[in-house]
Structure 1
Amino acid sequence: ASLQLSKSSWHARRARVILQNRAGKGKLAGAARDALGKIFTAEKNADYRLRALWALHVTGGIEQGQLLKATTDGDQHIRAWAVQLLCEDGPPTKAVRERFEKMAREDASPVVRLYLASALQRLAKPDRWDIATGLVSHAGDAKDHNLPKMIWYGVEPAVPEDPEKAVALASGSKIPLLTRYIARRLTAARSFEELVGAIGRATDSRKDLLLGMRDGLDGRNESQAPEGWTSVLIELEAAGGETASIARQLEQRFGGDRVVKKMLSTLRNSGASLDDRIQALRGLASRKRAELRPRLLALFHEKSLRSEAIRSMAAFDDADLGKALLEHYSKLSAGDKLEAIHALSARPGYGGQLTAAIKSGTVPRRDVPAYVARLLRRVVGSGFVEVWGPVDALPAEQAAAFKKYKALLSKGALAGANLGHGREVFEKTCSSCHKLYGKGGLIGPDITGANRTNIDYLLGNVLTPSAIIQDAYRMQMVLMRDGRLYSGIPAVESERVLELRVANQEKPVALAKSQIASREIAPVSMMPEGLLANLSDAEVLDLVAYLQKLKQVPLPKK
């Protein structure tokens, strides 16, 4: 017992194991328990007191009443561990739950509140609400890295079983993330009546309830609006502001032909806000409404809507749209060219047109990212390989490429490289999948902190990306029932929706599982071999020099 006062944490731990073993055999001396009790109650060093508390617990030397008293201790870590130990050997009693409720409301320590949030999962579902209500009353915890999500893990299983209490918790919460998560979960459970009622009554939490409802409807279109929604929408639109905009986005998910007419009207109205027109365009494209198809070319010629119009073309299998897109290809900006290539690689018909354009030179081979080439091989088949050549390098070719680039990328050559141009090459070739210095895609790992100064590390990852693939970055090929093919990395998956991170889009694409025809996990990385093959030696040199730089560099002046 005296070793709990040792400066060596190892000796203290080993002593507790011995004490636990002796207690299990009924051979623990009473003097040992007395000594542990004295350390816990009289010692000023909180670390030593915690050791004694742990030792008393594993030897059966502390009772519920003593642990309840410890929840009022002056040290936050003693209080926190008292919470955990009160839940250790079975469901907490009514007296313990009542004490937890008071602590959740009144304890000033976020450490204690984190332990209370962790304890939620050990309670029966009906017993979680009152403690959670106290925990969500602390606005200062909204930006805590752990607390909001730990509270969510505790209440999530209870949300669909008791929508009324879930709505009350969300409406009164001072933690926006939790409000949004609860609304999303209620939407997934189709508990619209309670949620719409809460939105109508809410003030401070209204925006987060709306955002959660929107999150829950991603990838879904409801045939009719929930009861009470129309009156709530009228009120929100009258109030204006951001909540009105979110409500209009939700309205696009409801109501069939009535809503479609409203979206078409918004799209035609050049005086409507750009955000509202974009949301209307996305809503019509997600429904694949035939009324949108003849308008896409006109929208394509509106500069502010061009990228969205190109992206929306992928929703339709229309040779005339593909032809028009390729006719205007040479006049597009670099960003819109990439959008066009993504749209034209989404379907077999478009893929055939893009392959022919690559063959004729209308679309330069260097404009087609390597990951799109792999997608086109799947969409078009052998016809694409005949034009493009092998997509994946053979081991001998990889070895030859490694030798070539190792010689090219000497220290002297890298020292004279154009870093600004290297950044341009990165943004065109790599940033749709990888983030660097806070900008870029989320399909691949963020490479800001990677070992970029090591040339062997860089070449190994670029030339042989499939050598080691982390589970989080395994590519999936998802074929929809309408023939559209998606390639990306799963972000979130529920019973109804798969959210897929795809190249060149900031937010994951929500795909209704009921519309998925097939889905397979690719055995290779989404980042294909041959990524450098479409770049000149000068571009490779500038790109690698830029990647090795540990600070951001400015883009070249136009």
Structure 2
Amino acid sequence: ESAMTTGGPGMVQALLAARDAAAPNDDHLRHTLLIALRNRLAAAEDVIPNESVNTNRNVLVAAYLGVAGPKAASFLSAELDKAAPALRPDMVRHVARHGDDASFKALVASLGRDGLSPVERGQLLVEMEKGATQAGRKPPESIQKLAESQAALLMEQPATRLVGIELAGAYRSKANNLAAFVADPTNSESLRLAALRALGADAAKAWTGVLAKVLADSAAPVALRQECGVGLVRSDKPVVRKVAGDAITALPSGLQDALAREMAARSDSGTELLELVSKGKVSARVLRDRVVSTRIDALKNPAIAKRVTDLTAGIPLADAAIEKRIAAVRAAAVGKSGDIKHGKELFAKHCAACHQVAGMGARVGPQLDGVALRGVERLAEDVLDPSRNVDQAFRTTVISLKNGRIVSGLLLREEGKTITLADVMGKDVVVLAEDIEDRSLSPLSPMPAGMGDRVSPTDLVDLFGYLAAPGG
């Protein structure tokens, strides 16, 4: 801590030397010295000799990435072309967010220079847009045009198509190409999902027919159908939401539940959901869903609340159905350890977007190493009724926007003028702070509650078997 303000102008060099002398496998000491270096750079105005920069460039970059403000951004902008390629995306995002006009202008020039591969340029342009959004600044027209041309180039080749899709989404370009990727059933699920997400919040309004066709396609991947349906019911246009309402009757219960949960987040679509229930197009059971009922309560609309009470009179609580499913898993597990290979496939398909085990998957939700020690019954409860036992750190953040929409998910980070949540699919949802009317913490888990609709009790036994032996 004393390194922040004491030790004179040679302290930076001393910290660099100490870190260089630390044993390569002493991660704790090396990290501690990096933190001390970061604190020193943030608190002091030391002039770092060029020789020290040249021999310790990547360490200094890593330290400056943790320092907010134009001073750090100026250093990172100057070193961008010389730093390790793995550090450049974070450097670009930092400069775009924290840099002054001079640093930002230098960044623009750097991204247009020769020597960058199309993929690297595309990735760096995406990071620039992220940082600029966090700072509330807009990339110049030259960058917009560069991004559009690079996106078109990258989307031409299958090997670089995903990068091109992400770039097109970041700069809201090439919508025709993106919609075509979503609609084409010969494309992979991951590519179609990426293209749908790249179309952004206006996808349902501009491409209603494409989303409706995918939603109704029973052969399309469930995750893709769900995102198309959610996009439709989130629309501010009643005519767009009606398209989803017309399709919902023919959807399997898991998809019906997912759309009902989204419709319950707003008064207008919530009222439309109740109308569908009253006409028998959707089972009244969806109104007993814990997520649906919690969101309807959050609307604080007495008329909607009364209608829910009337429509659910005599309908058994959803918890009874959950208990039956838990009992079925318990019965399926008797005398069986599960098919580990199949369990690994199930984890990759249903869990890895948010959870990690044995280094596989994303660390959005709780890490699952050792979770199998809880036993089959508790694991079944956690999967089939995720809101039954929710750690405080993983509760749902509920944000009411000024346009009437409710956004919810696991809070990932607050950066500059944006707040990022992870939704039930593990996808980032970025909200501008200025658009928020109210924010609260819900007792519900962000984990989707419909797992029992997508996998059988035997599947869950296989999944739990993999969690018990993740290296299997």
Q: CA deviation at 1:469?
A: 4.6
Structure 1 residue runs without a partner (length 5+)? 1-83, 138-147, 554-558
Q: Deviations over 1:493-512 (max 9, x none)?
A: 12311111221x23221111
**CA distance in 1: counterparts of 2:404 and 2:35, whole angstroms:** 45
Equivalent residue number for residue 22 of structure 1: none
The one-letter code matched in structure 2 to 1:317 is D
What residue identity is the alignment partner of 1:473?
F
Q: Structure 1, residues 127-182: CA drift from partner, whole Å, max 9, x if none?
A: 38666764454xxxxxxxxxx8x964554325533533212334322262x42222
Q: Deviations over 1:388-428 (max 9, x none)?
A: 469998xxx99x999x88996898774178978x98xx99x
Cα pair 1:497 1:510 within 8 Å, conserved? yes
- Going from structure 1 to structure 2, the CA distance change for 1:547 and 1:372 (only over 3 Å counts) comes to farther
Instruction: Quote the Cα distance in structure 1 between the aligned partners of 2:8 and 2:333.
Output: 68
- Which AA in structure 1 matches 2:266? R
The alpha-carbon distance between structure 1 residues 110 and 432, as it changes in their structure 2 partners (threshold 3 A), is closer
3-state SS of 1:157 partner: coil
SS in structure 2 of the partner of residue 286 of structure 1: coil
Match of 2:105 in 1: 193
Q: How high is the TM-score relative to the length of structure 2?
A: 0.67
Distance (whole Å) between structure 2 residues aligned to residue 506 and residue 312 of structure 1: 16
Partner of 2:71: helix, strand, or coil?
coil
Deviations for 1:261-317, whole angstroms, at most 9, x for unmatched residues? x52575369799888986675455425795455765466567587554323214413
Partner of 1:509: 429
Q: More relative contact order in 1 or in 2 (CA 8 Å, sep 6+)?
A: 2
Query: Do the aligned partners of residues 135 and 381 (structure 1) sit closer, same or farther apart at CA in structure 2, a change above 3 Å counting?
Result: farther
Structure 2 unpaired stretches of 5+: none
**How many aligned positions are there?**
435
The residue that corresponds to 1:160 in the other structure is: 70
Residue by residue over 1:12-44, the C-alpha shift from the partner in whole angstroms, topping out at 9 and shown as x without a partner, is: xxxxxxxxxxxxxxxxxxxxxxxxxxxxxxxxx
Query: 1:360-410: per-residue Cα shift (whole Å, max 9, x none)?
Result: 5433466785434433443453433443469998xxx99x999x8899689
Q: Given the alignment of the two structures, is residue 216 of structure 1 paired with residue 135 of structure 2, yes or no?
A: no
Relative distance call for 1:361 and 1:279 in structure 2 (3 A) is same
Shift of 1:98: 3.9
Equivalent residue for 1:474, pick from 377, 389, 395? 395
More deviation, 454-463/494-503: 454-463
Counterparts of 2:464 and 2:297 in 1: how far apart (Å)? 32
Q: Quick check: 1:340 aligned with 2:340?
A: no
Tell me the C-alpha RMSD between the 2 structures.
5.5
Give distance in 1, aligned partners of 2:331 and 2:194.
51
Residue-by-residue CA offset, 1:31-77 (whole Å, 9 max, x unaligned): xxxxxxxxxxxxxxxxxxxxxxxxxxxxxxxxxxxxxxxxxxxxxxx
> What is the DSSP-based 3-state SS (H/G/I as helix, E as strand, rest coil) of the residue aligned with 1:168?
helix
- What's 2:84 paired with? 174
1:93 is aligned to 2:8: yes
Aligned partner of 1:226 in structure 2 is 140
Q: Which amino acid aligns with 1:226?
A: P
Letter aligned with residue 120 of structure 1: L
For residues 330 and 346 of structure 1, what CA distance do their matches in structure 2 show?
Answer: 20
Rg larger for = 1
Matched, 1:520 2:432: no
The yes-or-no answer on 1:117 pairing with 2:34 is yes
1:469-508 CA-partner distances (Å, limit 9, x unpaired): 53321222111122211222201112311111221x2322
**SS state of the match for residue 415, structure 1?**
coil
Please state whether the residue corresponding to 1:354 is helix, strand or coil. Answer: helix
TM-score by length of 1: 0.58
| Residue number in structure 2 paired with 1:68 | none
Matched, 1:383 2:307: yes
Which of 109, 127, 131 matches 2:46? 127
For 1:435-514, list aligned pairs within 5 A. Answer: 435=355, 444-447=365-368, 449-454=370-375, 457=378, 469-503=390-424, 505-514=425-434
- Give secondary structure in 2 for the equivalent of 1:328: helix
Secondary structure in 2 matching 1:498? strand
Which residue of structure 2 aligns with residue 14 of structure 1?
Answer: none
Taking a change above 3 Å as real, the CA distance of residues 216 and 332 of structure 1, as seen in their structure-2 partners, is farther
